[in-house]
Chains A and B, each alone.
Chain A
């Protein structure tokens, strides 16, 4: 064991992803990265900074602004025996590649009778909170989670950012990784040992007996803050980090709900026809008689995300709105 294992270095979420990329590129010659500005620019969010120098242009490939072509090429390269990691600058631009993701990546294995698995990893930034206005602030992970045939993950911690990317590369299916833009600068520690991360199970981030806050991505930290603010009122909130949005870890969700008898789902997506609606429906189907209160939801206001900070803040779930939803549930 090296000295650094005993003394973890302070690092960031973006560094954690870079470490996973570097490790995969070193370990497996089939792995390569492609996307807009991943090479010379170092990545729009600086995730791939330095990788071009280390691995060269064949494996760190800058692409034209052709989302459909380079995502489709990633799918084709995966079918052709490689392990591509495709970076789409943000999920907002992923809509230009929707045909490839939904009509190809999600269907080819089943439609070909199992002949054509698609082991591609597609990473993209998601979420709001940086005053980027409506066209750069979408949260589409819930949309994608509607589609059978692809896997959707949303790592919220440094260890998950690193470990889930590694797990995604070991998976024979198309995996879409949603990295919330508010997390890239988040600092933390990474151990030398890589804890096992999987891409199917939720993780309890805070245990509590009174209410389950079900969330993922950057909203995890708003929920943890809300839970901290509720404790002095005698409300012990449990916080479950879903991590995998498809498949959903039903067992973990139901266990949390059965234990606390109350649930609030916190999601930066809109609520209509949403992932939060799906989770709520599953709880109703499976835990109806365990509930002491209707399932609550804190989601983004049903409007395009506006630019000015006060309006953007008002549109998004916040620690205070989460806490207030829980307080209302308890009549406090």
Chain B
């Protein structure tokens, strides 16, 4: 990495911890709310992968575009999408960031340049290439940050998009969240090349494997890549090695992996490792952790109350926005 790691002080430690705890507590509450029927449809939780979303977002500017997947609550929160609007979206309420029309898999907040919430594996990758093309042709220094899972690398759209971005030297930060399972299919049962960053290297894209359980390592890698992309170096690729602690969705009995495997990953999870390391260095305390966790819970409580009180979109609005409204935005 060319960029030097930013200095690690107490403030930065607590900020990252807070950002990860907000996601963890939000997702845990979502699981409860799903059980109670407040959230329906497909729900994919980000537990275990918080360091990726939080780390990457530190490297992005407000003008950068973000394209995400159906496991995107963590990305949205780290990007600054208000928790109230996010929770209301999961409830399907009008106050949701997509008017409640997208639900868990389709979080949009164009004011924060957050372009979904794309629920077909790989479908968002060409979008990110196009957003980057627009930014380049408009003469900006912005980039498009594109998240996808390791399952997406088997799709044609992944391979077509990497080639196109490399060929046209577009400012795309490709980020593969490699959590080892495409739903229930283990990586080594679906890919001939399991070192995914090497696939990107095949398109002559600078590519790096990063410990996705270490938020600061992710942050440093993303900052370095973003700086080189902004300088006109063309796309870069990060393979962020991580693990999802919960099931793929709420309908998954997890027959494809052992409890021992999950436990071993939990022991090196993004919150545990981070907390242990910085307690030892004296940059945070158990009280800090408990306070931030409590604050996160309070924010989640408020978001749930907001979502519960919010209105449904009136049925007579169903046909709005099938086509763009003239004169609107």
Contact = CB atoms under 8 A, between A and B. Distances in A.
A172 interface: yes
Nearest to B328: A114
B31 to A, nearest CB: 24
Given A68-B156, A68-B160, A113 B101 contact: yes
A112 B102 contact: yes
Interface range, A side: 35 or more
Interface string B107-137: 0111000011010101101111111111101
B108 A81 contact: no
Contacts of A114: 99, 320-321, 324-325, 328-329
Interface in A70-102: 70-82, 84, 96, 99-100
Interface in A21-76: 32, 58, 61, 63-64, 66, 68-76
Contacts of A104: 118, 123, 127
A150 to B, nearest CB: 9
B126 A100 contact: yes
Nearest to B326: A172
Interface string A206-247: 000000000000000000000000000000000000000000
Given A104-B123, A110-B321, A115-B98, A73 B116 contact: no
Contacts of B108: 111-113, 115-116
Contacts, number: 156
B256 interface: no
Nearest to A112: B108
A109 interface: yes
Contacts of B272: none
A126 to B, nearest CB: 23
B164 A111 contact: no
A15 interface: no
B297 interface: no
A112 B115 CA distance: 9
Contacts of A75: 126-127, 130
Nearest to B138: A81
Nearest to A81: B134
Contact of A72 (B102, B127, B134, B322): B127
Contacts of A79: 115, 127, 130-131, 134
B129 A111 contact: no
A63 B102 CA distance: 32
A135 to B, nearest CB: 18
A117 interface: yes
A148 interface: yes
Contact of B137 (A32, A99, A148, A172): A32
Interface string B135-152: 101100000100000000
B130 A72 contact: yes
Candidate in B99, B109, B122, B126 with the most chain A CB atoms within 10 angstroms: B126
Interface of B: 65, 67, 96-102, 106, 108-110, 115-116, 118, 120, 122-123, 125-135, 137-138, 144, 156-157, 160-161, 163-164, 167-168, 320-326, 328-329
Given A77-B134, A115-B110, 11 more contacts: A64-B164, A66-B164, A68-B157, A77-B137, A80-B134, A82-B138, A104-B123, A112-B102, A113-B96, A113-B97, A173-B324
Interface of A: 32, 58, 61, 63-64, 66, 68-82, 84, 96, 99-100, 103-104, 108-117, 119, 148-149, 151, 172-173
